[in-house]
Structure 1
């Protein structure tokens, strides 16, 4: 079993090492063989009449035909690479040794031709079997010279030249083996570096795309070499190598030149013509001086303001939550004391005062509840919601709780589906429905819920036939503690907006062309995306 396993490993190693480059090298070696034969024939016929011997011409012709047969075997990749290489070297050794025998021995100088053949075979085989090829050439040459000495004992042979040539065979084989090993190690190192560079490039691309800012990589001639999707989204333009920086973002090139003159200058704020976003560029040199490439970060000022506002709101939420808990205890005591006074008193003035106390404590209690709900807006449990079925159940519950007998209109496609926290959606729509019912004419169809597709998103319009919101109040409609009702807390719409933003949605007020008031919810929006 161990022997079979070794043979299997050898075959697998042979298949992996005999790559296309090996076969191409073997084909080049075969072309070199043909060119050598042609050069020998031409040179011999021109400078020596001995090459015109019919036997030599026949051997050269046969050797050329054998090279053509080798080319067919290389093209078909059969037999295997090692077998073909050994067969080629053996044919070369036999051919050259035959030439040596026919041309008078080593003094003809033809034996030196074996050296480039052995070197080329060693490099092609990448160090494998090089010593075997050298040994094969040595045995053939020793056999030829021994036979010559046996046939002509009267001639005084000098075996020093033969020994030196055989030593040269092994020296060339060893050098070829070392060079092949060095080339093999260099190839492995280069392949590893290629893999490392490919991984590093993928990592750089991933980091570049995951950066929240827009990124542009430019050269010294202000040509864009690389960019991320965020830069394309912020500028509203697809950067290319031919686009100048000012065409992409007006004033960017001038800001880059100013930074080059004085890096300490604060960068100006620029407006992207495609998206109308306010952007702040930040420059980083990628090489010493300004001759090399530079890195430009485009920061979305709207996003930075939103993040700053969210931080402030989070701190305000924690503060108000603590205050709400502290206010609730004395507020409950005041309400309870007012109820006791109302039960014991028979004075109308005291009854009026206790009633005022009760109404204001209830108002403060609602405000405390709204503040606590605002602090819980980040606890999301988003899930798919089929709007048609969900809104039908919601309107039935709302009509029963509020004691509404008039019909509330619902127009929703059956395929409408959103991702939202069900509890948050219930809270937002209850607030909108209660406000809408409060200001409408309270007839059938006075309150309408309409769902429509808007691009890839769904939108829900909650409209009523009451008076529209005054134009001067629309800008402050979603601000905290702003209300046009003396009994309201001014936190309902503000909390609705915060809840919608937490659920990747948007709420806005629109003025219907037929009159009345309408609040629109657009679902499934990403951060920074707006509707028109």
Structure 2
């Protein structure tokens, strides 16, 4: 069973007092220590007062001195060794050690009354203590007990015939009325302060939670966010902004000065214009980092100004990679073009078939070698157009990709060596290319012409970034598991930026302005059509790091020891 945590808390009905107990030195703890210190101070004053009266020789009852000393010891003990704990619903031990001791001590002093001193005003301390730290019921109970004690004292003095009895009863009644009024007002003010404190705590908790939510959102944003003050010092920077501003492998953590890097000068100037104009700014800037690495950004600034001028203004800067923006636009265009190209391809197919048929009929009647050569050119180009139409329909997924009854397979090593040899002969890259075929001529599920197109795209991409040294490009095949083969195209080019890696296989995304950005996208589409997987990683070959594009083929039923799963697990 849990102990009551509030004053006047009974059973399941929690009639809480003014202040809730919280961990640490809360409001209740602070008020409790203030009242305990006040009790010690009053007890010390009473002891000094009794000692002064004793020195003057006006003391008539030595029990007054003993009562004050005992009261001082009791208050010191509570102040030093007791801990703030709200009393329960009845006059429990906590009440006896605090309010009860005060009432008894002041009643004893008032009953003894040495040298004619009136101790009635001291009863205000226990009444205030119960009113502020407890509920109204305990406050009225304390005031009632004080009232009964004052009336009992007046009745006892009337029996002894000391002084005017009517005056004593009148004074007791007026004092008791004042104590009840003090209890009511003090409790009402304490309740109001307690409500305000709870409201402030809830508001503070909500503000902290909102701050955490804002920080999480900003941390997860794909756009960079910088918070810059009027002196050009970056107060805060999210991970995306640090990635966009990073020169090479170095990334700055806030705070840092924006003008320290020469490449960041356009951002510093835009911040200065924002503070000078006191209005948002927007511009496209280029960050020319060391090593010729240029990054183009679209920058928007917003001014966070204090409404009353009590705080400094801050510039919030939003950074967005222009290449990613253009890639998104190109992707949207790609979706529209895909739908249009599928429709156009369907419309081209019928007249193309008519052209092919007419050319075949014409070729039968021609005898001249020059004319037959012309019809052969028409036939070859018509076939080429037919293949292009089929590929457009396949890539745009306008055709339903139904599984073929007899899936096309091919020997991997022989096919890869033939395609690579043809490519090196056309590109004059024989000296720079080496072939490592170690898959034991594994049989994979793939169309030969589509594998040729896949490899040509990967080889052209490797040749574009490879060096002129011998062995700068390597084409390798291997078995990574029984029945599962792997093809890789490696080149000793520079590492790809993180942004490029993120959008590597997206359509129309390229690190070169003259590239269409469709090569790797088509490779991915072809691999997905045959159940293969394509990926990229940075690996080391013979002491040289390079870029590797790899293809994991779907296991073929013709391969021996074919596993039941589609892919075997292989660490990249």
TM-score (norm 2): 0.65
* Offset, 1:26: 3.1
Q: Which residue of 2 aligns with 1:100?
A: 110
Q: Which residue of 2 aligns with 1:327?
A: 348
- Tell me: CA distance 1:476–1:121, structure 2 relative to 1, closer, same or farther (3 Å): closer
For 2:50 and 2:266, the matched residues in 1 are separated by 77
For 1:208 and 1:29, the matched residues in 2 are separated by 47
SS at match of 1:277: strand
Q: Which residue of 1 aligns with 2:71?
A: 63
Q: Does 1:8 align with 2:11?
A: yes
* Offset, 1:67: 2.6
Q: Which residue of 1 aligns with 2:432?
A: none
Task: Kindly indicate whether the alpha-carbon contact (under 8 Å) linking 2:366 and 2:372 is maintained by their aligned counterparts in 1.
Answer: yes
Q: Which residue of 2 aligns with 1:449?
A: 476
- Tell me: CA distance 1:330–1:447, structure 2 relative to 1, closer, same or farther (3 Å): farther
Write out per-residue CA displacement over residues 499-521 of structure 1, whole angstroms, 9 at most, x where no aligned residue: 899x995699x9x99xxxx9942
* Offset, 1:49: 4.6
Q: Does 1:179 align with 2:176?
A: no
Deviates more, 1:243-252 or 1:173-182: 243-252
For 1:208 and 1:221, the matched residues in 2 are separated by 23
Q: Does 1:245 align with 2:258?
A: yes
For 2:86 and 2:230, the matched residues in 1 are separated by 55
Write out per-residue CA displacement over residues 147-183 of structure 1, whole angstroms, 9 at most, x where no aligned residue: 2212227744313222111011111111121012102
Task: Kindly indicate whether the alpha-carbon contact (under 8 Å) linking 1:338 and 1:354 is maintained by their aligned counterparts in 2.
Answer: yes
Task: Kindly indicate whether the alpha-carbon contact (under 8 Å) linking 1:73 and 1:79 is maintained by their aligned counterparts in 2.
Answer: no
* Offset, 1:225: 2.7
- Tell me: CA distance 1:504–1:235, structure 2 relative to 1, closer, same or farther (3 Å): farther
Write out per-residue CA displacement over residues 183-225 of structure 1, whole angstroms, 9 at most, x where no aligned residue: 2211221121012102211221133223332111223333333
Task: From the two aligned structures, give the one with the greater helix fraction.
Answer: 1
Deviates more, 1:69-78 or 1:137-146: 69-78
Task: Kindly indicate whether the alpha-carbon contact (under 8 Å) linking 1:127 and 1:181 is maintained by their aligned counterparts in 2.
Answer: no
For 1:423 and 1:81, the matched residues in 2 are separated by 83
Q: Which residue of 1 aligns with 2:498?
A: none
Q: Determine which of 46, 52, 65 is the counterpart of 1:46.
A: 52
Q: Which residue of 2 aligns with 1:123?
A: 132
What is the RMSD computed on CA atoms of the aligned residues? 4.9
Q: Which residue of 2 aligns with 1:90?
A: 100
- Tell me: CA distance 1:69–1:126, structure 2 relative to 1, closer, same or farther (3 Å): same
Task: Kindly indicate whether the alpha-carbon contact (under 8 Å) linking 1:252 and 1:270 is maintained by their aligned counterparts in 2.
Answer: no
* Offset, 1:41: 1.5
* Offset, 1:118: 1.4
- Tell me: CA distance 1:126–1:209, structure 2 relative to 1, closer, same or farther (3 Å): farther
* Offset, 1:362: 1.1
Task: Kindly indicate whether the alpha-carbon contact (under 8 Å) linking 2:349 and 2:389 is maintained by their aligned counterparts in 1.
Answer: yes
Q: Does 1:279 align with 2:297?
A: yes
* Offset, 1:8: 3.1
For 1:434 and 1:127, the matched residues in 2 are separated by 89
Q: Which residue of 1 aligns with 2:465?
A: none
For 2:114 and 2:253, the matched residues in 1 are separated by 76
For 2:340 and 2:81, the matched residues in 1 are separated by 86
SS at match of 2:301: strand
Task: Kindly indicate whether the alpha-carbon contact (under 8 Å) linking 2:230 and 2:272 is maintained by their aligned counterparts in 1.
Answer: no
Alignment length, in residue pairs?
452
For 1:29 and 1:479, the matched residues in 2 are separated by 81
Q: Which residue of 2 aligns with 1:255?
A: 270
- Tell me: CA distance 1:284–1:403, structure 2 relative to 1, closer, same or farther (3 Å): closer
Q: Which residue of 1 aligns with 2:318?
A: 297
Task: Kindly indicate whether the alpha-carbon contact (under 8 Å) linking 1:218 and 1:226 is maintained by their aligned counterparts in 2.
Answer: yes
* Offset, 1:401: 11
- Tell me: CA distance 1:154–1:401, structure 2 relative to 1, closer, same or farther (3 Å): closer
SS at match of 2:475: strand
Task: Kindly indicate whether the alpha-carbon contact (under 8 Å) linking 1:505 and 1:521 is maintained by their aligned counterparts in 2.
Answer: yes
- Tell me: CA distance 1:492–1:253, structure 2 relative to 1, closer, same or farther (3 Å): closer
SS at match of 2:227: strand
For 2:449 and 2:35, the matched residues in 1 are separated by 83
For 1:247 and 1:116, the matched residues in 2 are separated by 64
* Offset, 1:318: 3.1
For 2:133 and 2:348, the matched residues in 1 are separated by 89
Q: Which residue of 1 aligns with 2:240?
A: 230
Any unmatched runs of 5+ in structure 2? 1-8, 402-407, 422-434, 461-472, 479-485, 492-509, 552-572
Task: Kindly indicate whether the alpha-carbon contact (under 8 Å) linking 1:450 and 1:462 is maintained by their aligned counterparts in 2.
Answer: no
SS at match of 1:129: helix
For 1:44 and 1:78, the matched residues in 2 are separated by 33
Write out per-residue CA displacement over residues 467-495 of structure 1, whole angstroms, 9 at most, x where no aligned residue: xxxxxxx99999459xxxxxxxxx86672
For 1:338 and 1:204, the matched residues in 2 are separated by 68
Task: Kindly indicate whether the alpha-carbon contact (under 8 Å) linking 1:270 and 1:278 is maintained by their aligned counterparts in 2.
Answer: yes
Q: Which residue of 2 aligns with 1:454?
A: none
For 2:131 and 2:238, the matched residues in 1 are separated by 50
For 1:500 and 1:492, the matched residues in 2 are separated by 13
